[in-house]
Structure formats: C-alpha cells, structure tokens
C-alpha cells in the first residue's frame, strides 16, 4: 500500500524498472536477452497485483515494444532506451486520459442534472492525483465539476479499514479548496436518505466485459444504497481498466488484505483494538454488478446502457477505430 491506485501502480512499476535499466552500465547480453530481462521483471511486477488490470495491460504493451526493438537491433542499449521512452509516454498519456475522463464525466453529469444549478457528489476511496499519474479519475470528474462551478459539495467516505478517503481524498479536496465533507462509511445511506447526494462516482480496479466492476471494498454497498434512493451510480476509469477477456465479475480475482488492518488502529499501523483470537475476513475489493451501475465514464466518452445492458466491447472497438462487423 506504499503505492496504491491502479493507474499509479502501473506507472510506478514501469518507472521502477526504467530506473533499473537506465543505471545499467555494461549489460553483458544481446538485444534479445535485454528484452527477455525486461519481460521477466515485468511479469514479476504484475504478480504483485492480480485484481488491477492496468498493471498487466501496461506490462503487455511495454513487452511488445521492447520485443519489436530487439528484433531489429543488435544493441541492448536500444532496447533499454526504447523501454524508458515508452514508460515516459505512458506517464503523459495517463494524465491526458484522466483529464479527458474529468471533462466527459462533468459534462455528462451536468446534462443529467440540469434541473438544479449545482449538485453534490459522493465518492469512495481515493481516485485523485495520489492514485494516478495526476488529476485523477472519479476525483478528476469532481475536480472538473468544481472548475465549471456546478459542484455544490463533494462527500468522501473514510474508506475503512485503511482510510484512503480520510487520509488521501480529504487531503486532495482541501488542497484544491473544493467544498467537501468527510463521512463515516456507515453514514452513506443516511446521507442519501436526506437527499444530500445527487450522484455517486467511484473508480475501478477492473471492469468485466458485461460492466461488473471490482473496486475498493464498500463500493457494492454504496451502489445498493444508491439504487434504493434512486441516485445514479457512475464508475470512472480509463479503457485500460476494462478487461474484455472476463465475461463477468465472477471471474475477477479478489485480493485479501492483512488481518492487522482490522485488528489494529490506523489501518494496522497502531495499537491492537480488537479482541485477540477473533477471526478476520478482510477482502480488499468487492464486485458491483452491472445492473447497479448507471454509466462508465472513460477517456473516450461515457458508456451507457442499451436495453438495460452495457455493450462495452462495441464501445471499446469503436474507440480504437476498429470495425465491429
């Protein structure tokens, strides 16, 4: 959890290896061996986070780039330099992608909420600059709404047990001088009942082909509460978070976190507060089924439902300029 947030994890992994290869003085091997070295290192990094698809997607792209260079050059230095340049481009692309998500999301929400001049949004966990290369996904939408003068207030959950909301999202909102209120996770339903929330926007660690979405534990509960109170529930994520190889959320691997996060204060860093001997179940994520999600905000636009179902594959292919025939 030193690096957390799926886009930031992918960028940090790419740059950690970039630093290593940049410091090679005398690599004793061929260009093919240089590409193999990079591939092995990236595969090891991917094994650290099985739920988040962005990391594996970044690794595949970087492996393909370096393999192509190795096939045309005999110099291992050329392979390493190509890798470093690709990682730098990935950083710039992530910031641009985040800002596009913010722009599309804010315009879409404003179109849906035009009956009121300003409205409030609830978010969960952290999806801002501290979770991405910069700007943010769900928090990026909130930033854009604020910049356009249509955000009444942002509500953020504390996000137990590691408190990403109270430690990180609250910090970013205060830093940007965005009107914001922190709530306990368990207060979300009461907040919605009082009609103080116009929309819920969360991030995503992985989106299956049918729209089922894995994100920080507690997201499923928020989606259920939002549906009960007739509040739209949006997922904001780059297209790299979509995994078309998974037909549904049932196939998403859910990581479990250390029991210490629940047994001890400060997300496992402080004193023990729970009774010794109690068993703990601490999943890092849950899966929100697609029927609870109103729309998926991406850097290419907002994916909405047709006949109560998402056609994500068609959207992704059109975004990539491919034929859907």
Using CA atoms, how far apart are residues 291 and 147, in angstroms rounded to an integer? Answer: 31
Place of tokens 């976190």: 257
End-to-end Cα, the chain, rounded Å: 43
Helix H or strand E segment including 199 = strand 199-202
Which of 76, 137, 147, 80 is closest to 110 using CA atoms?
Answer: 147
Place of tokens 């992530």: 94
The answer to whether residue 314 is catalytic is no
**Residue 245, token pair as written in the block:** 């190889």
Handedness of CA 125, 131, 137, 142 (dihedral sign): positive
Place of tokens 């989606």: 223
Using CA atoms, how far apart are residues 180 and 152, in angstroms rounded to an integer? Answer: 9
Q: Which of 94, 205, 243, 286 is catalytic?
A: 205
Give the residue numbers annotated as catalytic, written as ranges: 205
């Amino acid at each position: 959890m030193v690096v957390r947030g799926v886009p930031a994890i992918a960028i940090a992994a790419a740059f950690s290896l970039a630093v290593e290869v940049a410091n090679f003085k005398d690599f004793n091997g061929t260009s093919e061996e240089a590409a193999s070295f990079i591939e092995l290192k990236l595969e090891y990094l991917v094994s650290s986070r099985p739920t988040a698809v962005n990391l594996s997607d970044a690794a595949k792209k970087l492996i393909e780039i370096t393999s192509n260079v190795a096939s045309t050059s005999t110099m291992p230095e050329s392979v390493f330099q190509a890798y470093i340049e690709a990682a730098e481009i990935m950083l710039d692309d992530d910031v641009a992608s985040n800002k596009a998500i913010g722009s599309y999301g804010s315009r879409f929400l404003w179109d849906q909420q035009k009956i009121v001049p300003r409205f409030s949004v609830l978010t969960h966990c952290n999806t801002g600059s501290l979770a991405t290369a910069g700007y943010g996904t769900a928090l990026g939408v909130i930033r854009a709404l604020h910049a356009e003068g249509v955000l009444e207030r942002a509500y953020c959950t504390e996000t137990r047990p590691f408190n990403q909301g109270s430690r990180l999202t609250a910090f970013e909102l205060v830093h940007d001088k965005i009107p914001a209120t922190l709530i306990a996770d368990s207060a979300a339903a009461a907040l919605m009942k009082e009609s103080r929330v116009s929309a819920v926007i969360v991030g995503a660690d992985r989106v299956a082909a049918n729209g089922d979405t894995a994100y920080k534990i507690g997201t499923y509960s928020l989606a259920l509460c939002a549906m009960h109170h007739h509040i739209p529930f949006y997922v904001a994520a780059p297209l790299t978070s979509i995994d078309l190889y998974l037909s549904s959320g049932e196939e998403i691997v859910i990581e479990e976190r250390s029991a210490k996060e629940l047994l001890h204060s400060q997300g496992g860093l402080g004193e023990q507060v729970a009774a010794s001997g109690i068993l703990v179940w601490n999943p890092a994520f849950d899966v929100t089924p697609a029927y609870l999600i109103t729309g998926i905000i991406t850097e290419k636009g907002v994916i909405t439902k047709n006949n109560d179902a998402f056609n994500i594959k068609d959207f992704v292919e059109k975004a990539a300029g491919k034929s859907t025939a």
